[in-house]
Amino acid sequence: MSAVAALLVAAPAAQAAADTPLRDLAAARGKAIGTAVTGSKLTGTYGDIAGREFNWLTPGNAMKWASVEPSRGTFDWTEADRIVDFAEAHDQDVRGHTLVWHSQNPDWLANGTWTPAQLRQLMTDHIALEVGRYKGRLAAWDVVNEPFNEDGTFRQTLWYNGLGADYIAQALTAARAADPAAKLYINDYNVEGVNAKSTALYNLVKDLKARGVPIDGVGLQAHLILGQVPATFQQNIQRFADLGLDVAVTELDIRMQTPATDAKLAQQRTEYEAVFKACVAVSRCTGVTVWGFTDSDSWIPDTFPGEGAATPYDANYQPKPAYYGIVTALGGTVTEPPPPTGCSAAYSVQSQWNTGFTGQVTISCAAGSSLSSWRATWTFGAGQRISQAWNATCTQTQAAVSCANASWNGSVPSGGSVTFGFNASWSGSNPAPTVTLG
């Protein structure tokens, strides 16, 4: 005795994920929403999403010193120019990233032997050249990146060891001279909440402002871990704003142990929403940039093995729950898409006796369709009640049943299937319900 119920719902394409693009929702709130991008990928679906959803772009690597001057006096601006050109074609601003940093410096610079005077000249010449090249075309620069240790002391770097703490003021002054209109930032990680490191940054920028050093804002990178978003996030943004500085969340991602599950993705959605709401609540928070919008372009898996799923879109450019958390935080509304066309649920009764039966649901995806997670729902029509389930987590409220994937079987590949089963009671009749995927 068996029956089959197929899913008959077509999914909208990724570009139809929200009625209003994120950039329009953000602009209505007076905020920016940005993403880090790889210039060579700015075509096809990647380019479509980057251009449609965001009003700021940050080069992920293309403007770092090792990228633009790999050999002394030899320059490569191809990737950086591609990003700036794309942004101008799509009415977007660009955040330059980054001018002075301890990492991703060319070997000739990092391994050289320099006097303080030589090192200062190299730094200021580099800033003058790069900022000057894009004068009037970039809205902001991360001038100095990651100057502090976790305890709030200055990081021992080529710049600090060679020039002392005043290298920061020198870099900012050089950047202002090269482009007086660009907003100048100091950017760091693990400074999202109130702690020793963020307090050191607070004291630094307060001192720089008192000395008349050009500084417009601070960047809070926000490379966060699921379940560890600081409770003092908004408070911390506000204290920097109270100094008369702009604040930008510059590199947001929220990573988790993989594989992702429905529960983790739901929590990630809540935490993305919380970060955006904290920015919306503070007038001098200029906006939020996500550090790559798709899991296929995220730095997390290579840097933190076993972790990932950190961005608002999955590797197939489909919006994840986090995307809808951003929409909600920005005041938008959206109907979350059903599973892709070509995926269906088949319900069958495997065996039956006088008071009970064993049921099975098979979730299948045709070629060209896939799922990263699933939930099957149905309503029993004759008082049947589930007593036990396997390969899924099932709940039943009166006649309504909802079964979500287990941690190991959320992924249904193109042309593949997964199956879960359950035991249930019945009395009188046992009609097959219609199953819906969601």
The residue from 53, 251, 271, 273 that is catalytic is 251
Indicate the pairing of strand 385-390 with strand 417-425.
antiparallel
Largest Cα separation within the chain, whole Å, is: 92
- Does the N-terminal peptide bond of residue 214 adopt cis geometry, omega within 30 degrees of 0? no
Q: What is the DSSP string of 386-419?
A: EEEEESEEEEEETTEEEEEE-TTS--B-TT-EEE
**C-alpha–C-alpha distance, residues 367 and 263, integer Å:** 28
Packing angle, helices 321-329 and 262-280, rounded to 10: 20
Q: Could you report how far apart the first and last alpha carbons of the chain are, in Å?
A: 26
Q: Which of 44, 14, 133 is nearest to 84 (CA)?
A: 133
Contact call for residues 436 and 400 (beta carbons, < 8 A): no
Q: Which of 346, 381, 354, 360 is nearest to 423 (CA)?
A: 360
- Does the N-terminal peptide bond of residue 259 adopt cis geometry, omega within 30 degrees of 0? yes
CA distances from 437 to 9, 323, 403 (A): 9, 20, 10
Which phi-psi region, left, alpha or beta, contains residue 313 (left: φ > 0; alpha: ψ -120 to 50)? beta
Active site residue 79: no
**C-alpha–C-alpha distance, residues 28 and 328, integer Å:** 13
Residue 260, both tokens: 């992702």
**DSSP helix/strand/coil, 250:** strand
> What are the catalytic residues?
251
